[in-house]
A = this chain, B = another copy of it.
Amino acid sequence: MFRNQYDTDVTTWSPAGRLFQVEYAMEAVKQGSAAIGLRSKTHIVLGCVNKANSELSSHQKKIFKVDDHIGVAIAGLTADGRVLSRYMRNECINYSFTYESPLPVGRLVVQLADKAQVCTQRSWKRPYGVGLLVAGLDESGAHLYYNCPSGNYFEYQAFAIGSRSQAAKTYLERRFENFSDSSRDDLVKDALMAIRETLQGETLKSSICTVAVVGVGEPFHILEQETVQQMIDAFEIVGEQEGPAAEPDAAAAAGQEAAAADQGGSTEEGVAPMDI
């Protein structure tokens, strides 16, 4: 598993100008169960795959409300995600207390990214091992951001992170041009379809996924399990074989990718690591 001498300390540059420890932390995001997000002009929907440790436990919470107008879905180390969610919650409370208006989404995202950047430049810390999809609605409209362990952030129309997220991304890319004018319910349906893509042959049930919505006139909230099941039942008759068809190959590819990661970093990064 030996790779090189430049990858055990976050403050050490490789000769080719890379920070391996930051890239490795980004691998932790790929290992987490999938999370997806997509937005129309008025609504943003977050979804994730629930992973229960055993029959005996409830599943782990992976979507958090931050404020009435902001929520996050995470993939990666849950503990890191929880700590960062609380940080965001505090920032929102302090802002609205001081200015009597909600904290703009983009501003919160930058603060979050700065907090992550600091962890990539101190020898006694480690980069956070979690990716966050931040959904928010403010005066400038509906926003979906992805915050990454490197301290970078990106605005997206729709995005998917975590294990087997590639299949969901393919689905979203095929359809994202319609999202902007989608109704709230169509957005939720697309979220569920994208989640199904990541399931690798498992049947989509309301018990194994969580969906949350924030939009105009609708504060951030997680949908009831029954509501979700009804929507699944409604479209199951129509769209059964779309996703799973390409699954076997994708699964095989995912397996190879994991193996590659163990040997020497993901191959897909290639020329431009760390989203420079």
Contacts and interface: CB of A to CB of B under 8 A. Distances in A.
A132 interface: no
B16 A83 contact: no
Interface stretch (A151-159, A208-216, A227-235, A239-247): A151-159
Interface in A7-35: 7-21, 24-33
Interface in A110-139: 110, 113-114, 116-117, 119-127, 129
A123 B176 CA distance: 43
Given A11-B124, A176-B55, A17 B29 contact: yes
A198 interface: no
A159 B2 contact: no
A79 interface: yes
Interface stretch (A96-104, A218-226, A258-266): A258-266
Given A18-B28, A21-B13, A123-B125, A156 B58 contact: yes
Interface string A253-276: 000001001111100000111111
A114 B56 contact: no
B120 A169 contact: no
Contact of A125 (B16, B57, B121): B121
A158 to B, nearest CB: 5
Given A33-B276, A154-B60, A13 B28 contact: yes
A250 B97 CA distance: 56
Contacts of A120: 79
Copies of this chain, how many? 7
Nearest to A146: B57
Contacts of A15: 1, 3, 7, 20, 24, 27, 261-265
Given A33-B276, A56-B176, A83-B114, 20 more contacts: A1-B14, A6-B8, A13-B127, A15-B27, A15-B262, A15-B264, A15-B265, A16-B27, A17-B261, A18-B31, A28-B276, A31-B273, A53-B154, A54-B169, A57-B154, A58-B156, A60-B152, A78-B151, A83-B117, A163-B271
Closest 9 CB pairs of A and B: A17-B27, A79-B151, A17-B28, A13-B24, A11-B126, A1-B4, A79-B117, A32-B276, A123-B124
